Amino acid sequence: MIEPVQLPSPWRDARLTVVVPTYNEAGNLPALVERLLALPLPGLRILVADDNSPDGTGEVADKLAIEHPDRIEVVHRAGKEGLGRAYVDGIGRALDGGAEYVAQMDADLSHPPEALPGMLGTLLSTQAGVVIGSRYVPGGELDENWPLYRRALSGWANLYVHTLLRVRIRDLTAGFKIWRADALRDIGLDRVQSNGYSFQVEMHYLATKLGHTILEVPIRFEERRDGMSKMTTATKIESALMPFRLRSKHRHISR
């Protein structure tokens, strides 16, 4: 586990909301929340967007919110509508709640919370609209226990999307990042159509089209500790078709 960067004041007091979509993550959420709240970021808040998880994740999140009423908010959604819809809902609520910066991360402990202060410092010290925690820039790592087929799928997906969309990002499918609130408002969540994991690609594509600087910093990506991956065949099909839809739908968008 890395040691979190100690940011100077007033940077460490920035109003940062971490949006965490959940579906069947009851075994991972308490550990993630503990690590997030231990960070030297007193302005950090957590927004859990739960898609009515049958394993009781929503109830676990509610208990955590009772324990930390000023730092955790829980959004209970009607059902499993996909990662993209959960993020659109959660990010929209974070912006409405006054967040200056919004982070995205998975609940399965694959993304290191301790990297957030350094990512926030990179965002605040540059003109970037978003900073990505990247597996594929120098210094980035993949857990040695990550299955070979997942490595191949991730590498192929990045090459495939990069070839079609010409977006200069090494980790196009990354789900760990921090956005400036004004960049998110400029993108406009109402533009976002993706339901599944292709949400990540669509957001990167829109940010690029609108001229926002995107920076990548290296992280170590861990294998999930509990539960199973939510990647389905339908999600893979949507992700394969999405680049063609993005080129068509967003062709007129530019800075």
User: Domain extents for the chain?
Assistant: 11-250
Q: What is the mean pLDDT of residues 202-222?
A: 93
Q: Is the pLDDT of residue 147 over 90?
A: no
DSSP string, 95-163: HHTT-SEEEE--SSS-S-GGGHHHHHHHHHTS--SEEEEESSSTT-EE-TTS-HHHHHHHHHHHHHHHH
CB distance 214 to 115 below 8 Å: no
Whether 166 and 245 have beta carbons less than 8 Å apart is answered as no
Mean pLDDT for the stretch of residues 18-43: 97
Which two three-digit tokens encode residue 207? 């940010």
Residue 37 CA to residue 16 CA, distance in Å, equals 12
Q: What is the CATH number of domain 11-250?
A: 3.90.550.10
Cβ-based neighbour number of residue 149 at 10 Å: 8
Section 177-203 average pLDDT:
90
Dist. CA 131–CA 171, nearest whole Å: 11
Question: Rounded to two decimals, what is the model's pTM?
Answer: 0.88
Residues 181 and 16: their CA atoms lie apart, in Å, by: 10
The arithmetic mean of pLDDT across residues 141-152, rounded, is: 72
